Structure 1
Amino acid sequence: MPLDELDRALIHALHVDGRAPFNQVAAVLGTSQQTVTRRYRKLRSEGVLRVVGMTDARRLGQVEWFLRLRCTPDTAQPVAQALARRPDTSWVQLTSGGTEISCVVRAPERNAPQALLLHQLPKTPRIVSVSAHCLLRSFVGGPVGWHGRANVLTDDQIAQLTPTFDAGAGAAADDERLLAALQQDGRTTYAELATTTGMSEPTVRRRVNQLRGNGILYLDIDIDSAVLGFHAQAILWLSVRPAHLVAVAEALAQQPEVALVAITTGSTNLLAKAVCRDIDALYTYLTERVASIEAIEHLETAPVIRTVKRAAT
């Protein structure tokens, strides 16, 4: 569906604070609460936009692994769908002509990726190879969302919408149902969360604010980049000279085309995801922006053919 400026402004506002009250959003955008509510419900009901409550893996004692599975063409689709059904995977995508699957998997820090996933893959000899790359440090992605999808509001409007929280205690066992409910819908009301968790509404409100304050919980937007006019995605595997690794990661993180940057283990040491308007824009980005970074010694590009799962849905 085509988006107008108000739709894009609403998306940007929710990028800043996914739980911002609609009366506050309306005041910042200079429109009515009824209009903002109606626009959000339309985007939500048509599957364009969803606010999801996500958790920071490191703060929960988890590590994220980026997996690459090379398959025969007739196997990639069912394997990708099987991975998408797992609760511990996100961003399951078919790349490289549809014969490779890329996905992010979470595991307890003490577990090797083999113990987490490999023995649970569909039993098929058509998976040619599997490699796992630990995300050592992320610069864009996770709590630091993709800036390129949200560029409508002014600095003053962003400041008005940016929430502040007091840090609270770490995650507790009774937070599990609360976090699960927010993962399904980050804008679930406090009254609904109270019913789901058995807590009182004031307790739920306080706990959500504490979890956001200590960085365990953050709000993300689950949206198809094509809706925003971005039709070309590629995963970039880069080898960077170690002395320049952090500087290159930080430089890429400032580029609006980049939706993910992470230092990883493996044969390459830097992972990025580029999101561009079209193939021509991707070509320009690779040949002008990326190619100008002298510390990059090797680059492998895997175009994204299809996204099977975004965020955690």
Structure 2
Amino acid sequence: MDALDELERRIVAALQINPRASWRTVAAALGEHERSVARRGAELLDGGRVAAVGIRAREASLLVRARCVPGSAPVTAESLANRADSSFSYMVTGSTDVVAEILTTRGQLAHLLSVELATTPGVARAETLPVLKYFRTIRSWRVGALTPHESEAMGEGRRPEANDRPTDRPLSAQDQDIVGCLISNARMSFEEIARRSGVSETTARRRVDWLLANDVVQLRVLVEPAAVGLPLEALVWLRVAPDRLERIGQSLRRDPRVRYAAALAGSSQLVVDVTLATSEDLYRFVTESEWSSGVESFDISMVVRARKRGGRLNDPSVV
């Protein structure tokens, strides 16, 4: 994985805050020439090193921890990654071989658990852990390349804290088409969205604003952590007493090293996805963080292959 240079990291960091920002807005916030920002930004997006995508939030979500038949972990990870309702699919170390998140509806849970997961190729045993609350998702993670002033110029902190699992609501056929556009390319122009969904550009702009404001579709900019100097990724499974859950979760939410943190119903009460530079950094994360004294016990699963992130399939030749 080729590392991003300083300007590329700053462009990514700006787009993480506002995925649909114009290159002019990004350049002004960073104090760079618009032409340089537009050229470098387009190269990152067109080359697939960075992706701006959307994901449809659902009322129910759960993590799947799959123990696989020997030698079949890549097949299971691929099968879960290719589900339209999965947001990520990782091969990991430890007693679990594959971990994936599935976004669904309560009405689909029974069939998902009793039929779909049971017949997933390569799965010998699967533990399902429903998500009770998100403290952080990948769209809140930042590469940390901007000054506070630059972040503010891109709009950091202006929007109320996001609801990462809104109640599902029925959408018109046109809104569904617009959501599909944003899922495939969060930076798609209003003109193109209008053309694909069969509405006027004014209507497209108005409906996009409504869909984003109501968290029907959520935008994020994806970059592999290794490309920004964070090659070590781990899932940390925490077991904590109920009265400490909220305090620890809020502490994790504030920690810039955390990409994802959620409260679970199951054998672990919290899961944390963290990306770091070294194993020593991971050791310090689990032993020296402000929340560590409140944890009863923990397990660590190292992520060895990320086949899918943020609803987007990674190139299998480079993950």
> What is the TM-score with the length of structure 2 in the denominator?
0.88
Question: Post-superposition shift, 1:94?
Answer: 0.3
Superposed, 1:143-158 pairs within 5 Å as 143=139, 145-147=140-142, 149=143, 151-158=144-151
Q: Which residue of 2 aligns with 1:246?
A: 246
Tell me the alpha carbon deviations over residues 264-293 of structure 1, each in whole angstroms, 9 at most, x when there is no partner.
Answer: 100121111111112222122223227x62
Q: Distance in 2 between matches of 1:72 and 1:146?
A: 34
Check whether the contact 1:56–1:142 (CA below 8 A) recurs between aligned residues: no
Question: Post-superposition shift, 1:158?
Answer: 2.1
1:109 matched to 2:101? The reply is no
Q: Distance in 1 between matches of 2:308 and 2:61?
A: 16
Check whether the contact 1:89–1:104 (CA below 8 A) recurs between aligned residues: yes
Q: Which residue of 1 aligns with 2:86?
A: 89
1:224 matched to 2:224? The reply is yes
The letter for the 2-side match of 1:286 is V
Tell me the alpha carbon deviations over residues 20-78 of structure 1, each in whole angstroms, 9 at most, x when there is no partner.
Answer: 11111111111222111111111113221011122332xxxx21111111013311111
Q: Which residue of 1 aligns with 2:301?
A: 302
155, 161, 165: which is aligned to 2:154? 161
Structure 2: gaps spanning 5 or more residues: 161-168, 313-319
Going from structure 1 to structure 2, the CA distance change for 1:277 and 1:132 (only over 3 Å counts) comes to: same
Identity value in percent: 28
Question: Post-superposition shift, 1:191?
Answer: 0.8
Check whether the contact 2:52–2:221 (CA below 8 A) recurs between aligned residues: yes
RMSD, aligned CA: 2.2
Q: Which residue of 2 aligns with 1:127?
A: 123
Question: Post-superposition shift, 1:2?
Answer: 3.0
Q: Which residue of 2 aligns with 1:74?
A: 71
Superposed, 1:5-20 pairs within 5 Å as 5-20=6-21
The letter for the 2-side match of 1:308 is R
Q: Which residue of 1 aligns with 2:278?
A: 278
Check whether the contact 2:76–2:121 (CA below 8 A) recurs between aligned residues: no
Q: Which residue of 2 aligns with 1:140?
A: 136
The letter for the 1-side match of 2:310 is A
The letter for the 2-side match of 1:271 is V
Going from structure 1 to structure 2, the CA distance change for 1:98 and 1:5 (only over 3 Å counts) comes to: farther
Q: Distance in 2 between matches of 1:21 and 1:184?
A: 18
Q: Distance in 1 between matches of 2:263 and 2:281?
A: 25
Question: Post-superposition shift, 1:171?
Answer: 5.7
Question: Post-superposition shift, 1:160?
Answer: 2.2
Check whether the contact 2:286–2:292 (CA below 8 A) recurs between aligned residues: no
Structure 1: gaps spanning 5 or more residues: none
Check whether the contact 1:257–1:275 (CA below 8 A) recurs between aligned residues: yes
The letter for the 1-side match of 2:147 is T
Question: Post-superposition shift, 1:84?
Answer: 1.1
